[in-house]
Amino acid sequence: MLTAFARAFKTPDLRKKLLFTLGIIVLYRLGSHIPVPGVSYKNVQICVDQMGSSNSLFGLVNMFSGGALLQITIFALGIMPYITASIILQLLTVVIPKLENLKKEGQAGTSKITQYTRYLTVALAILQGTGLVATARTGALFGTCPVAREIVPDRSIFTTVTMVVTMTAGTCIVMWLGELITDRGIGNGMSILMFISIAAGFVTALWTIKLQGKIADGWVEFAVVILVGLAMVALVVFVEQAQRRIPVQYAKRMIGRRAYGGTSTYIPLKVNQAGVIPVIFASSLLYIPALIVQFSGSTAGWATWIQKHFVKGDHPYYIAAYFLLIVFFAFFYVAISFNPEEVADNMKKYGGFIPGIRAGRPTAEYLSYVLNRITWPGSLYLGLIALVPTMALAGFGANQNFPFGGTSILIIVGVGLETVKQIESQLQQRNYEGFLR
């Protein structure tokens, strides 16, 4: 692998792409440490040191921003507005016929949907930026921190607008940097930035576990976490690469004097067809009750019940709800992202059929049957992986952003595999040995 990596840098055009991607990553991490105008950097650091690691309410967004959210920097919102906008557009494509027609138009329709995604990203960035500033001004961002209400000393309208505009502009820059990586670098730009944001907190999270350990100055807990992490990575790689290949045979067709078709191929159905989306959906949905209680400030019975069972994230009710929501959203997302009837119609149009299955409706029913069967183990796998941080919270006293589990490990491994495959394919075009040999 190291030899292949060295050969990748010896290839001029591939070296330029890799160096360009590294340069964009450096700019992204630099922007994640520049504070927003109007924020007291000293007070923010006091609250982060005191409460940052235990703030589980904003843990998911903070993880996707590489820790920039709680630092209130110009890239505080990170790529979450873009991710949210992309998911919303993908869901609306199934509901709105006009968007569905755009998707079928090919490159022109895809470009139009991408433009809509950018507009929606800006709108969501303004909304989330306003919410973040309001949360910081009221002191709710860091809870019981003694200087939480002094994070934004100047509460004037001008300062508030400046902060919101700065964070919105930061989101637009992050979106632009991601598109630059996609066009001129290696891999999918947004995925690479997401990868970097999550990986940036790995060292700190591991060292925190070591400091909080009690056996042999924490080195035993540290070693156990590393071993568990390696096992988790191996499991995720195994499942993410697993797929059910449904054979497809294309009949021969005579066009003029030439025969076309007669080839054999397959439809690859991944075990984890939904990816990390169900985990994000479930996490976001379970944050809503805690947010309502925090902003309402109510002490009623329902608020106390939610505070007791859903805020800390380690109660059996929370764990059960989290697991069931992940399973539900896994089936839901697979149902809207893979249309068996459309696949069956396309196969029938081009003379394809599954051996032993009649073309048309029987093919669609067979694909639905197989998809439901393989989605079950995929959804259960997602639920178990997502619960690793909760078990770590009880076993090691770690925070919700435990490095080897949940959303983080799924994204890290998934993006890493896709990026390595892209470099592998480019090396193979030049008759070089790739990474995966």
* The pLDDT of residue 69: 79
pLDDT digits (tens, 9 = 90+) for 55-105: 455 666 677 777 777 788 899 888 888 888 888 888 888 788 888 888 878
In-domain check, residue 225: no
* The pLDDT of residue 421: 81
* Domain shared by 242 and 196, yes or no: no
In-domain check, residue 414: no
pTM: predicted TM-score of the whole model, two decimal places = 0.80
Residues of the chain with pLDDT under 50: 53-55, 400-401
Could you tell me the residue range of the domain that residue 278 belongs to? 238-404
* The pLDDT of residue 124: 92
What total number of domains does the chain contain? 2
Residue 373 and residue 401: Cα distance in Å, rounded? 32
Q: Which of 215, 218, 192, 194 is nearest to 206 (CA)?
A: 218
Q: Which of 85, 107, 89 is nearest to 98 (CA)?
A: 89
Collapsing DSSP to helix, strand or coil, 137 comes out as helix
* The pLDDT of residue 190: 86
* The pLDDT of residue 206: 77
Q: Are 32 and 73 in contact (CB under 8 A)?
A: yes
Output 250-255 pairs: Cβ under 8 A, ≥24 positions apart.
250/350, 250/351, 250/352, 251/351, 251/352, 251/353, 253/351
Provide the 10 A C-beta neighbour count for residue 368: 16
Collapsing DSSP to helix, strand or coil, 435 comes out as coil
* Domain shared by 131 and 180, yes or no: yes
* The pLDDT of residue 172: 93
Provide the 10 A C-beta neighbour count for residue 147: 16
pLDDT digits (tens, 9 = 90+) for 133-178: 888 888 777 777 778 788 888 888 998 999 999 999 999 999 999 9
DSSP state letter for 36: P
* Domain shared by 131 and 280, yes or no: no
* Domain shared by 192 and 274, yes or no: no
Residue 60 and residue 276: Cα distance in Å, rounded? 13
* The pLDDT of residue 53: 47
Q: For the chain, count helices (H), then strands (E).
A: 19, 5
Q: Where among 176, 200, 224 does a domain terminate?
A: 200
Residue 428 and residue 437: Cα distance in Å, rounded? 11
